[in-house]
């Protein structure tokens, strides 16, 4: 018995070993598609049905593709060998794949025999999609692999060790539409490197070491990602043909100014977050530590208005920069802008400059959280008539008082110490979290049809009766989390449409009486001083989720659990 038990693990391993079972038994098969993902293969699977067009071999231990064990794959169009140990590809093997159009070889070791492998690749006459990512390829190796692939349309060279783009790298691939060069060490792009790619639409150069883009002239590009580089300058050339660029990502760089973009383009999405931009106004002084490193900077200085051409821009992200001023004059030409983020800057005030009082922006979603704003004047909201959502968290804004729900503009509308959030006719979502609001004034949001309101993180916030007056028939979500409020500070009106309420992180021993008429579906009352939930009966038909932890519940008052 002991001998048999000692042998049992070896017997089980032998039964499960790929070497002792037919390879095809480990794969999932359909008439034209076979998947052998992660089944422990060390070579091409055998005994597969004829006529397969789609074969997945990723996450195995295959070291080479040899033609000696690849019969019957003449119809194959798609082959995935990613995440193996592949280092050798024979010409005999590729010669048996005359119809192959997609070849995925990412995360292997194709740097080891790149000369012989590159020779074999010359047989891939019909290949359109090629993945060579994460193969430790240097610049000359990558060039060699694609030196004769004339039908290539999609190429992934991300995650390699390329340091520069050679002028002739893409000479044989004029049909390329999508090119991924991200996560390399590219510091230099030789002149003319992209010149053969007249049809290139998507280019990803993120996560490299580029310092300057000068004379950008890829007019046919639709999407360009240059994020996570060290760019200090982006300067484009004016071209005879219009630029077709729609999406440009320049985030996580070292840009000191708004980029010099061409006048004729269709740009709709521009990401400039996480840079060093300190001003958007033309002629603004540069940081004292800046040194003029590029002659192109002198040409950029002559740009009168860098935003004047962005008439189709819909989304602009300027978060995590060094802006101290919100200049309305800069955004005024952006007639299609609907989403704007200036979060995590150093904004202290908004400036209308010399524009007329009738100036309006088309923005619908505005993110200004984590700045140093103390007040927003009435004209700020009047100039944003389409505003539906605004995040003002982590500032120092105090809401003004309104005289009542039906009296129009109320007390404090012209105050220099508070912000009027009442009578903003299209505003539906507002966050005032972490603004050090100590007291919410009566009817602070009157005639503003809010659907959601975030007042969390305002320690010792006091909400007297009527503070939320005017929201009885609109408010659906309310957060009063982490305010350390007791029941005397939390007077809620009868909010007839309230469905989501967060009261966690307070000092409530009783729930606000006004909640009895709210059709709550989600209630968070964690970390309070509640001993009972007396009004639970009124929610028995609507409540779907409730969080209760961190309260000193009384074992003698648990009748509410029955509901």
For 119-138, the pLDDT digits (tens) are 999 999 899 999 999 999 99
Tell whether 235 is covered by a domain.
no
Number of structural domains the chain divides into? 1
In angstroms, the CA 109 to CA 63 distance is 9
In angstroms, the CA 41 to CA 434 distance is 56
The pLDDT confidence band at residue 307, using thresholds 50, 70 and 90, is: low
In angstroms, the CA 266 to CA 551 distance is 56
Tell whether 44 is covered by a domain.
yes
Q: Residue 535: what pLDDT?
A: 61
Strand 33-35 relative to strand 28-29, pairing = antiparallel
- The per-residue pLDDT for range 243-264, each reduced to its tens digit, is 899 999 999 999 999 988 877 6
* Better-predicted residue by pLDDT, 271 or 308: 271
Q: Residue 163: what pLDDT?
A: 97
Assess whether pLDDT exceeds 90 at residue 38: yes
Residues 6+ apart with CB under 8 A from 514: 491, 492, 493, 494, 495
pTM score > 0.85 for this model? yes
The pLDDT confidence band at residue 286, using thresholds 50, 70 and 90, is: low
Q: What is the mean pLDDT of the chain?
A: 87
CA dihedral (484, 488, 489, 495) positive or negative = positive
* Better-predicted residue by pLDDT, 298 or 447: 447
Q: Residue 34: what pLDDT?
A: 93
* Better-predicted residue by pLDDT, 447 or 407: 447
Tell whether 51 is covered by a domain.
yes
Tell whether 277 is covered by a domain.
no
Instruction: Please give the full DSSP string across 170-238, using - where no structure is assigned.
Output: TTT-TT--EEE--SS---EE-TTTTTT-TT--EEE--SS---EEEEE--TT-SEEE--SS--SEEEE--
Q: Rounded mean pLDDT of 547-560?
A: 88
Assess whether pLDDT exceeds 70 at residue 35: yes
* Better-predicted residue by pLDDT, 281 or 516: 516
Provide the CATH number for the domain around residue 134.
Answer: 3.80.10.10
Q: Residue 358: what pLDDT?
A: 59
Residues β-bridged to residue 131: 104, 156
Sequence-distant contacts of 151-154: CB under 8 A, at least 24 apart: 151/125, 151/126, 151/127, 151/175, 152/127, 152/128, 152/176, 153/128, 153/129, 153/177, 153/178, 154/128, 154/129, 154/130, 154/178
Q: Rounded mean pLDDT of 336-365?
A: 85
Tokens of 196: 């053969």
Contact 165, 141 (CB under 8 A): no
Least-confidence region, from 72-76, 205-209, 351-355: 351-355
Tell whether 228 is covered by a domain.
no
Q: Rounded mean pLDDT of 61-79?
A: 85
Tokens of 380: 């700020």
Assess whether pLDDT exceeds 80 at residue 416: no
The pLDDT confidence band at residue 409, using thresholds 50, 70 and 90, is: very low
Q: Residue 304: what pLDDT?
A: 41
Q: Residue 249: what pLDDT?
A: 98
Q: Which of 440, 438, 447 is nearest to 400 (CA)?
A: 440
The pLDDT confidence band at residue 291, using thresholds 50, 70 and 90, is: very low
Q: Residue 515: what pLDDT?
A: 87
Give the whole-number percent of the chain exceeding pLDDT 90: 67
Tell whether 36 is covered by a domain.
yes
Q: Residue 417: what pLDDT?
A: 87
Tell whether 102 is covered by a domain.
yes
The pLDDT confidence band at residue 553, using thresholds 50, 70 and 90, is: very high
Region at 325 (left for phi over 0; alpha for psi -120 to 50; beta for the rest): beta
Assess whether pLDDT exceeds 70 at residue 22: no
Domain that holds residue 202: 27-207
The DSSP output letter for 401 is P
Assess whether pLDDT exceeds 60 at residue 299: no
Assess whether pLDDT exceeds 60 at residue 419: yes
Q: Residue 355: what pLDDT?
A: 52
Region at 98 (left for phi over 0; alpha for psi -120 to 50; beta for the rest): alpha
Tell whether 157 is covered by a domain.
yes
The pLDDT confidence band at residue 18, using thresholds 50, 70 and 90, is: very low
Q: Rounded mean pLDDT of 130-154?
A: 97
Assess whether pLDDT exceeds 70 at residue 288: no
């Amino acid at each position: 018995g002991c001998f048999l038990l000692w042998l049992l693990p070896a017997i089980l391993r032998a039964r499960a070993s790929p070497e002792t079972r037919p390879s095809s038994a480990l794969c999932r098969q359909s008439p034209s598609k076979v998947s052998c993902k992660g089944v422990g293969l060390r070579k091409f699977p055998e005994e597969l049905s004829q006529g397969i067009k789609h074969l997945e071999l990723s996450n195995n231990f295959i070291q080479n593709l040899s033609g000696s064990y690849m019969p019957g794959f003449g119809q194959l169009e798609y082959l995935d060998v990613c995440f193996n140990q592949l280092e050798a590809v024979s010409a005999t093997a590729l010669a048996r794949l005359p119809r192959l159009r997609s070849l995925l070889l990412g995360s292997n070791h194709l740097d080891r025999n790149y000369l012989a492998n590159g020779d074999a690749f010359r047989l891939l006459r019909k290949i359109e999609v090629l993945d060579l990512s994460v193969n430790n390829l240097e610049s000359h190796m990558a060039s060699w692999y694609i030196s004769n692939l004339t039908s290539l349309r999609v190429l992934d060279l991300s995650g390699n060790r390329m340091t520069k783009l050679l002028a002739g790298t893409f000479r044989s691939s004029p049909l390329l539409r999508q090119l991924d060069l991200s996560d390399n060490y590219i510091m230099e792009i030789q002149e003319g490197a992209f010149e053969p790619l007249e049809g290139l639409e998507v280019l990803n150069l993120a996560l490299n070491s580029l310092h300057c883009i000068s004379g950008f002239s890829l007019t046919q590009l639709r999407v360009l990602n240059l994020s996570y580089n060290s760019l200090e300058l982006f300067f484009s050339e004016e071209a005879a043909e219009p630029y077709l660029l729609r999406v440009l990502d320049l985030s996580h760089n070292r840009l000191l100014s708004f980029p010099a973009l061409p006048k004729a383009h269709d740009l709709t999405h521009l990401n400039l977050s996480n840079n060093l931009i300190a001003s958007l106004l033309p002629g603004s002084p540069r940081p004292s530590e800046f040194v003029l490193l590029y002659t192109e900077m002198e040409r950029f200085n002559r740009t009168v208005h860098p935003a004047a051409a962005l008439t189709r821009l819909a989304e602009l992200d300027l978060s995590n920069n060094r802006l101290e001023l919100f200049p309305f004059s800069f955004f005024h030409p952006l007639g299609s802008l609907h989403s704007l983020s200036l979060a995590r800057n150093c904004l202290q005030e908004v400036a209308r400059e010399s524009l007329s009082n009738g100036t309006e922006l088309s923005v619908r979603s505005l993110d200004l959280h984590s700045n140093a704003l103390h007040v927003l004047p009435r004209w700020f909201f009047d100039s944003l008539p389409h505003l539906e959502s605004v995040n003002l968290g982590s500032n120092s804004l105090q809401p003004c008082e309104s005289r009542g729900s039906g009296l129009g503009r109320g007390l404090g509308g012209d105050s220099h110490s508070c912000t009027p959030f009442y009578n903003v006719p299209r505003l539906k979502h507002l966050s005032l979290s972490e603004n050090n609001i100590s007291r919410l004034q009566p009817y602070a949001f009157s005639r503003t049809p809010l659907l959601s309101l975030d007042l969390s993180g305002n320690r010792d916030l006091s909400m007297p009766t009527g503070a939320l007056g005017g929201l009885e028939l609109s408010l659906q979500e309310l957060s009063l989390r982490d305010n350390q409020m007791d029941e005397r500070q939390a007077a809620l009106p009868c909010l007839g449409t309230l469905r989501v309420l967060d009261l966690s992180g307070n000092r409530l021993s009783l729930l606000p009486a006004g909640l009895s008429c709210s059709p709550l579906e989600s209630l968070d009352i964690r970390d309070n001083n509640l001993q009972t939930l007396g009004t639970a009966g009124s929610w028995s038909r609507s409540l779907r989720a409730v969080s209760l932890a961190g309260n000193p519940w009384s074992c003698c008052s648990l009748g509410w659990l029955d509901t």
